[in-house]
């Protein structure tokens, strides 16, 4: 049979592109470049010299390879935020949790395994505070041949919200840790790397979104800020929220949204107003006192095409007052999964592991009361009264190789003390946490319900909690103390949203559910980097299941090395961790 050549060519092209896409390969060269914002220039760390970094365009189910070359001055790691990475914690990224850092001059090949994620995610550095400038979008299109659960938008635009610090970010972190106090806050917020009109020396470079009346735009909004939850709105335009954290939502309309660091929100913008210039704007949502947070506003401009005289200045949107907690909680409570035939939900209904974690701001005594926290103390933060301390060997390797002395396995399921967590007055001694590196061990396939309870210690704060390795269903949220009897009756088990980051409201609670079907070591932390370095972190170890596809595979052979003293392991010490805890026992030399 004679096959026309163009058929063969078509077949070849299909194969070539299909496989190229399915195994996209990127090169990330991490290096410093000079960058000017707010009338001054400093060196910032970037990927490939770009700020924000390159966008990854992929399809649902793809596997991506990224070769990360550290040509910077500091230890470095990178994390694929919201990718569950089944059985692949090895290249998840958080330093001293799943790997030791990539040292200057070194290289690490990272594999990103996408499965059910579809929509918008992002990637960012996960060492010290280098993520302040090292981040980018990850756009996950539907599988080939399928489409969105809403009319195909005419164009798609990433809107990456960030913050900008005039100071070198390493200096900000060093100062924070040295002083023990609140530390500094950012000087500006940014939209796609630009502060916008309202800041000095910024007007020229303001991000402009050109739109045509009658068309619909999908804005893929990401909050990459180090420190701040943000209100975001576009003047005279409602936003139709259709997705968050790479999972679709039942569409709902809002004049503004609330987005936490780490979170992504997809919205449809209909260009249905009179041709004009309209501001899009973002500013902080915070309960911090005036004078100790960045109260500036970042803007970009939505510009209709056509012949007209734009209003000057452009029309400005309504944004709630900085501390409008009700607006924020209302937004979180409005998220609902599609939960239809094509997008079924899988919320665990029979729970076998109940956890209750308090999230607290803390103080710690400082020699001679010489720190800058309240009464000369050092500020810390904790989960269940344990302020997490990073180990020197990453927990994943310590677990895999069964290296003793790196972490403890006694992270408590409940706080040491039940009291009125949201009361205004409490004994001062409650403020002081214990410090340690404890992990919570979960059996493979266990069904977990975790209630977060924000406490009023040091007036409390909202906490955008982020879990690596899983997406979780948010089944309930409220203000005040969690009521074990009444609140579970309000749970949404029908169409709860599937998130990887969610705001636990100040002096409030929030309940998540997930199934621990991803063996390995997975970090959970507040996505305010300040709270993270103060110790509001926890680590889950999900044990291996019985079948081969439920077991943690060996590490890639280019894992960045850790430096540690050789500890000869006797089987006695190894066994003291418990018989099922270490999948592999090896003598480390
Ligand atoms: C905080 O930031 C400001 C503005 O960038 C800077 O002038 C100051 O030195 C920084 N440090 C402290 C401790 O305030
Ligand atoms: C936005 O939605 C609200 C409530 O549905 C409506 O009252 C308002 O007119 C809408 N605004 C625009 C600009 O479409
Ligand atoms: C921002 O905070 C500064 C310092 O506290 C204050 O002077 C200024 O009025 C505030 N600006 C706004 C817009 O709230
Ligand atoms: C918000 O801040 C204002 C001004 O500082 C204050 O009067 C008000 O009580 C605060 N609201 C809440 C809910 O804390
Ligand atoms: C949020 O606020 C809107 C408008 O006030 C209200 O209609 C809606 O019921 C609230 N939603 C939730 C979940 O509280
Ligand atoms: C604390 O103060 C005492 C008396 O001034 C001084 O001798 C001591 O060195 C100080 N300790 C520290 C850790 O600064
Ligand atoms: C500082 O000390 C005073 C006096 O002991 C106490 O009333 C106050 O609550 C303390 N502040 C904090 C934040 O611990
Ligand atoms: C807990 O404290 C809050 C704030 O002071 C108060 O409103 C509430 O009634 C207290 N709850 C109980 C059960 O005492
Ligand atoms: C946290 O633990 C410390 C040390 O055991 C204790 O003094 C403190 O009261 C605890 N705080 C709370 C809120 O349980
Ligand atoms: C884990 O759950 C999956 C899906 O419910 C099931 O197919 C599998 O058999 C379970 N494995 C174990 C070891 O329980
Ligand atoms: C960089 O990482 C290596 C390996 O974990 C570690 O030994 C070293 O102390 C780190 N350097 C800094 C400055 O943190
Ligand atoms: Cu926090």
Q: Is 385 in the pocket of ligand 9 (CB under 6 A)?
A: yes
- Which pair of tokens denotes residue 510? 């929030």
Model confidence pLDDT, tens digit, residues 115-133: 999 999 999 999 999 999 9
- Take atom 12 of ligand 4 and give the residue whose Cα is closest: 323
Name, in order, each residue with C-beta under 8 angstroms of 494's C-beta and a sequence gap of 6 or more. 339
Asked whether 255 and 319 are in contact (CB, 8 A), the reply is: no
- Take atom 1 of ligand 2 and give the residue whose Cα is closest: 238
Q: Is 429 in the pocket of ligand 9 (CB under 6 A)?
A: yes
- Give the distance, in angstroms, between the CA of residue 518 and the centroid of all CA atoms in the same chain: 18
pLDDT category of residue 187 using cuts at 50, 70 and 90: very high
Residues with CB under 6 A from ligand 7: 363, 374-375, 428, 431, 458
pLDDT at 584 over 90: no
- Which pair of tokens denotes residue 107? 């290289």
pLDDT category of residue 26 using cuts at 50, 70 and 90: very high
- Give the distance, in angstroms, between the CA of residue 306 and the centroid of all CA atoms in the same chain: 39
- Percentage of the chain beyond pLDDT 90 is 88
Ligand 1: centre distance to CA 184 (Å):
6
Q: Is 116 in the pocket of ligand 11 (CB under 6 A)?
A: no
What fold is seen in the domain 149-335? Immunoglobulin-like (2.60.40)
Distance from C-alpha of 235 to C-alpha of 98, rounded to nearest angstrom: 43
pLDDT at 575 over 60: no
Q: Is 333 in the pocket of ligand 5 (CB under 6 A)?
A: yes
pLDDT category of residue 29 using cuts at 50, 70 and 90: very high
Collapsing DSSP to helix, strand or coil, 328 comes out as helix
Ligand 11: centre distance to CA 111 (Å):
23
pLDDT category of residue 566 using cuts at 50, 70 and 90: very low
36 DSSP β-pair partners: 41
pLDDT category of residue 24 using cuts at 50, 70 and 90: confident
pLDDT category of residue 583 using cuts at 50, 70 and 90: low
Distance from C-alpha of 566 to C-alpha of 421, rounded to nearest angstrom: 44
- Percentage of the chain beyond pLDDT 70 is 92
Ligand nearest to the CA of 482: 8
pLDDT at 537: 98
572 DSSP β-pair partners: none
pLDDT at 588: 40
450 DSSP β-pair partners: 355, 512
Q: Is 550 in the pocket of ligand 9 (CB under 6 A)?
A: no
Distance from C-alpha of 298 to C-alpha of 158, rounded to nearest angstrom: 16
Distance from C-alpha of 79 to C-alpha of 419, rounded to nearest angstrom: 37
pLDDT category of residue 303 using cuts at 50, 70 and 90: very high
CA-closest candidate to residue 269, choices 243, 246, 241: 241
Q: Is 290 in the pocket of ligand 4 (CB under 6 A)?
A: yes
Give the global pTM. 0.94
266-270, 372-376, 401-405 — which is least confidently predicted? 401-405
pLDDT category of residue 431 using cuts at 50, 70 and 90: very high
pLDDT at 568 over 80: no
Q: Is 422 in the pocket of ligand 8 (CB under 6 A)?
A: yes
Asked whether 59 and 356 are in contact (CB, 8 A), the reply is: no
Q: Is 563 in the pocket of ligand 11 (CB under 6 A)?
A: yes
**Own/partner pairs, 36-42, CB within 8 angstroms, 24+ separation:** 36/201, 37/164, 37/188, 37/190, 37/194, 37/195, 37/201, 37/202, 38/164, 38/166, 38/187, 38/188, 38/195, 38/199, 38/200, 38/201, 38/202, 39/200, 39/201, 40/166, 42/166, 42/168
Widest pairwise Cα distance in the chain: 91
Question: How is the beta sheet containing 229-234 ordered, strand by strand?
Answer: 208-211, 297-304, 277-285, 229-234, 256-259
Kindly give the number of the ligand 4 atom that is closest to the alpha carbon of 325: 13
Q: Which CATH number fits domain 353-587: 2.60.40.2240, 1.20.120.330, 2.60.40.420, 3.10.129.10?
A: 2.60.40.420
Ligand 9: centre distance to CA 154 (Å):
56
More confident residue, 567 or 448: 448
Kindly give the number of the ligand 5 atom that is closest to the alpha carbon of 334: 13
Kindly give the number of the ligand 4 atom that is closest to the alpha carbon of 289: 5
Ligand 11: centre distance to CA 195 (Å):
34
Ligand 12: centre distance to CA 130 (Å):
18
- Take atom 12 of ligand 5 and give the residue whose Cα is closest: 330
| Mean pLDDT, residues 509-522 | 98
pLDDT at 549: 86
Alpha helices, H only, 436-568: 529-534
Average pLDDT, the chain: 93
For the chain, report the end-to-end CA distance as a whole number of angstroms: 64
pLDDT at 579 over 70: no
Residues 16-147: name the CATH superfamily.
Cupredoxins -  blue copper proteins (2.60.40.420)
Q: Is 291 in the pocket of ligand 3 (CB under 6 A)?
A: yes
pLDDT at 151 over 60: yes
In 114-144, which positions are buried (b, 16+ CB within 10 angstroms) versus exposed (e)? beebbbbbbbbbbbbbbbbbbbbbbbbbeee
Domain with CATH 2.60.40.420 in the chain: 16-147, 149-335, 353-587
Kindly give the number of the ligand 1 atom that is closest to the alpha carbon of 179: 13
pLDDT at 3: 41
Q: 332 φ, ψ to 5°? A: -55, -40
CA distances from 284 to 112, 281, 295, 325, 428 (A): 32, 11, 6, 12, 30
- Take atom 10 of ligand 6 and give the residue whose Cα is closest: 368
The answer to whether the peptide bond before residue 353 is cis (omega within 30 degrees of 0) is no
Asked whether 586 and 554 are in contact (CB, 8 A), the reply is: no
pLDDT at 585: 54
Asked whether 45 and 125 are in contact (CB, 8 A), the reply is: yes
The label of the residue with tokens 């970094």 reads: 53
Sign of CA pseudo-dihedral 532, 536, 540, 541: positive
Distance from C-alpha of 157 to C-alpha of 210, rounded to nearest angstrom: 11
- CA dihedral (327, 328, 333, 334) in degrees, to 10, reads 70
Ligand 5: centre distance to CA 247 (Å):
22
Q: Is 546 in the pocket of ligand 10 (CB under 6 A)?
A: yes
Asked whether 260 and 335 are in contact (CB, 8 A), the reply is: no
Model confidence pLDDT, tens digit, residues 215-251: 999 999 999 999 999 999 999 999 999 999 999 999 9
pLDDT at 5: 44
Ligand 7: centre distance to CA 269 (Å):
49
pLDDT category of residue 405 using cuts at 50, 70 and 90: confident
pLDDT at 360 over 70: yes
Distance from C-alpha of 27 to C-alpha of 588, rounded to nearest angstrom: 32
Q: 17 φ, ψ to 5°? A: -75, -40
- Which pair of tokens denotes residue 19? 């496989």
| Mean pLDDT, residues 58-76 | 97
pLDDT category of residue 183 using cuts at 50, 70 and 90: very high
By DSSP bridging, strand 208-211 and strand 297-304 are: parallel
pLDDT at 581: 60
pLDDT at 582: 65
Asked whether 362 and 380 are in contact (CB, 8 A), the reply is: yes
Asked whether 170 and 42 are in contact (CB, 8 A), the reply is: no
pLDDT at 456: 98
Asked whether 162 and 136 are in contact (CB, 8 A), the reply is: no
The answer to whether the peptide bond before residue 391 is cis (omega within 30 degrees of 0) is no
pLDDT category of residue 563 using cuts at 50, 70 and 90: confident
pLDDT at 577 over 70: no
pLDDT at 586 over 70: no
Name, in order, each residue with C-beta under 8 angstroms of 294's C-beta and a sequence gap of 6 or more. 163, 185, 186, 187, 188, 189, 227, 228, 284
Collapsing DSSP to helix, strand or coil, 7 comes out as helix
pLDDT at 548: 87
Ligand nearest to the CA of 359: 12
Kindly give the number of the ligand 6 atom that is closest to the alpha carbon of 370: 14
Distance from C-alpha of 510 to C-alpha of 491, rounded to nearest angstrom: 10
pLDDT at 6: 46
Q: Is 51 in the pocket of ligand 10 (CB under 6 A)?
A: no
pLDDT category of residue 402 using cuts at 50, 70 and 90: confident
CB 75: neighbour CB atoms within 10 A? 18
CB 214: neighbour CB atoms within 10 A? 9
pLDDT at 576 over 70: no
CA distances from 74 to 7, 213, 317, 528 (A): 52, 48, 41, 21
CA angle 246, 252, 253 (to 5 degrees): 120
């Amino acid at each position: 049979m004679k096959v026309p050549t163009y058929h063969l060519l078509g077949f070849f092209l299909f194969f070539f592109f299909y496989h190229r896409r399915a195994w996209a390969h990127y090169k990330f060269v991490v290096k410093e470049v000079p960058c000017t914002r707010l009338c001054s220039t400093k060196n910032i760390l970037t990927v490939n010299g770009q700020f924000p970094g390159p966008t990854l365009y992929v399809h649902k189910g793809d596997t991506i390879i990224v070769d990360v070359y550290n040509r910077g001055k500091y230890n470095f790691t990178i994390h694929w935020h919201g990718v569950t990475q089944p059985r692949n914690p090895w290249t998840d990224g958080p330093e001293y949790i799943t790997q030791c850092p990539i040292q200057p001059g070194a290289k690490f090949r990272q594999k990103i395994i996408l499965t059910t994620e579809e929509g918008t995610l992002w990637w960012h550095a996960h060492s010290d505070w280098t993520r302040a400038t090292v981040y980018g979008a990850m756009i996950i299109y539907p599988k080939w041949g399928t489409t969105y659960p809403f009319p195909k938008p005419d164009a798609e635009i990433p809107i990456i919200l960030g913050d900008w610090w005039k100071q070198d970010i390493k200096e900000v972190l060093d100062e924070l840790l040295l002083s023990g106090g609140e530390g500094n806050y950012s000087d500006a917020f940014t939209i796609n790397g630009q502060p916008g009109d309202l800041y000095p020396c910024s007007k020229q470079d303001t991000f402009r979104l050109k739109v045509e009346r009658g068309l619909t735009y999908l804005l893929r909004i990401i909050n990459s800020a180090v420190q701040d939850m943000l209100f975001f709105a576009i003047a005279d335009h409602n936003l139709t929220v259709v997705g968050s954290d790479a999972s679709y939502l039942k569409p709902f309309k809002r004049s503004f949204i609330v987005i936490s660091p780490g979170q992504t929100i997809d919205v449809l913008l209909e260009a249905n107003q009179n041709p004009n210039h309209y501001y899009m704007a973002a500013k902080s949502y915070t309960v911090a006192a005036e004078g100790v947070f960045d109260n500036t506003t970042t803007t970009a401009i939505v510009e209709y095409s056509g012949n007209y005289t734009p209003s000057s200045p452009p029309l400005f949107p309504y944004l709630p007052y900085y501390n409008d907690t009700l607006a924020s909680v209302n937004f979180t409570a409005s998220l609902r999964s599609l939960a239809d035939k094509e997008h079924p939900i899988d919320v665990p209904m029979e729970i076998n592991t109940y956890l209750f974690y308090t999230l607290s701001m803390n103080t710690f005594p400082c020699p001679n009361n010489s720190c800058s926290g309240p009464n000369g103390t050092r500020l810390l933060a904790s989960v269940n009264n344990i302020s997490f301390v990073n180990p020197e060997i990453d927990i994943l390797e310590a677990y895999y190789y069964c290296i003793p002395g790196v972490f403890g396995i006694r992270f408590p399921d409940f706080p040491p003390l039940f009291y009125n967590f949201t009361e205004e007055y409490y004994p001062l001694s409650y403020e002081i946490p214990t410090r340690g590196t404890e992990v919570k061990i979960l059996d493979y396939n266990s069904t977990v319900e975790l209630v977060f309870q924000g406490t009023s210690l040091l007036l409390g704060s909202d906490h955008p909690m982020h879990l690596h390795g899983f997406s979780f269903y948010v089944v309930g949220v409220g203000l005040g103390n969690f009521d074990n009897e009444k609140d579970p009756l309000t749970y949404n088990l029908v169409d709860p949203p599937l998130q990887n980051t969610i705001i636990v409201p100040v002096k409030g609670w929030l309940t998540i559910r997930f199934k621990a079907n991803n063996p390995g070591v997975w970090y959970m932390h507040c996505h305010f980097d300040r709270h993270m370095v103060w110790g509001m972190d926890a680590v889950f170890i999900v044990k291996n299941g019985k079948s081969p596809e439920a077991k943690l595979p060996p590490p890639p052979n280019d894992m960045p090395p850790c430096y540690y003293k050789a500890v000869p392991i006797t089987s006695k010490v190894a066994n003291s961790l418990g018989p099922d805890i270490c999948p592999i026992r090896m003598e480390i030399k």
